[in-house]
A and B are shown apart, each in its own frame.
Chain A
């Protein structure tokens, strides 16, 4: 097996057994990036010298029996909205092309402390919202399953890099679905943890009360290992939650026998944008979960449109508060899609925003009530497969095909996990939603779905 296909756990085992070095793993990843990324555009910056220095340090430490844990010596990459000290962080925008942060984001610092190997910075939709676009300083990342199709956004480069086997795990951010959407459309696992679970300090905000940091990865286990080193209280992040962090691995393979799973079927069934292959994928997953011993029942939640409305109003109002001055003075320096989305914030009144916050309370209570009766919920991640670049969909409109924003509004942990390929050869995924801070259960059910669907046997496209 090529080292680029080793799981994080397998890489760790090889490093400790002396059958591989971090420098070998890193060179394999750097070579693959050099060979194939020109046509995919996952990276906006490859930090080759930094990566090799990180790798050699890891090898030296491991040889000296200094073990920093499961991420020691493992290559990774960061969406280019995560500050990296001394390394340019652009948000994929002309407005921040010269931005070189003085210090690492908390997430970047945690990877360094854990002995990780930084391969570089990844493409994103501009400011984590505007794309896919061809009027930005860097080209949009392309979907390795078919380069004429988008990856979904905004963690576009993260998804491309993993699906093209350049790296096993890359960080994304998720304000309305920007981890789970690209994960679904590129055949990956991606978790948006509970709001407050991972520090956002040093990550450029899109919408403070909806922003979450989390990993995309080849497998559920990779994400569980990664979240294990990132989760935890940060007193300098105003939204950080001081809640103990569980070990996500012991229950990962316990299966779903005896668990209860609720399906908010009205979210996706009957939607004009839902394609039959996606609905069939959900039905197949439900059958597999039942056969594995879970109780799966349809449930009612408030109308999906209320979740979408609350999320969009909150996002646009908060984003506008961040960008208002630049909207007035530098509008044409933004990409056209970004600008057209941000200016709408100027049209939202205080009462509109407060009504959205009232909706947030109502909707969060409803999801919590459902999760008092079920261990997790299961719904679609996206209602269709990745569209072509020349047939774009408006990810912010009320008819957007993503089904992810409800859990940014409510803060619940949610993971997209692949379940197969549609008849057009593109991946489809389902979304598992858990109780606040119960990422362990989300991982457990997601891992069961991953196994039951047989996804691990699917070959990646490149």
Chain B
């Protein structure tokens, strides 16, 4: 797990790269949300094999059904 400091450095770098300037007074709250999002991203990392394709169409019927 990244440390809070490394997460903050990473967030600042990503915002700089995107050209977004976060006001100082909003940075702490946004960092909390970023840490939470990173945990959610981690849940899906490594979960799938190369055979697990993303949906290129919405699947709304049971697998194999016509």
Contact = CB atoms under 8 A, between A and B. Distances in A.
Contacts of B38: 347
Give chain A's interface residue range (CB within 8 Å of chain B).
35 or more
Contact of A196 (B40, B53, B58, B61): B58
Contacts of A364: 55, 58-60
B26 A362 contact: no
A411 B30 CA distance: 29
A358 B53 contact: yes
Contacts of B29: 340
A457 interface: no
Contacts of B62: 365, 368-369, 371-372
B-side interface size class:
35 or more
Interface string B4-36: 000000010011011111110010011001101
A310 interface: yes
Contacts of B61: 368, 436
Contact of A361 (B33, B36, B54): B54
B33 A194 contact: no
A391 interface: no
- The SS class assigned to the A binding surface is helix
Interface stretch (A84-92, A229-237, A275-283, A325-333): A325-333
A313 to B, nearest CB: 6
B35 to A, nearest CB: 10
Interface string A321-354: 0001001100110001001110110111000101
A360 B55 contact: yes
A356 interface: yes
Interface in B40-66: 40-41, 43-45, 47-48, 52-55, 58-63
Interface of B: 11, 14-15, 17-23, 26, 29-30, 33-34, 36-41, 43-45, 47-48, 52-55, 58-63
21 contacts: A195-B58, A308-B40, A309-B41, A313-B44, A331-B22, A340-B29, A343-B22, A344-B30, A346-B17, A354-B54, A358-B44, A358-B53, A359-B44, A362-B48, A364-B55, A368-B62, A369-B62, A394-B33, A397-B36, A398-B39, A437-B60
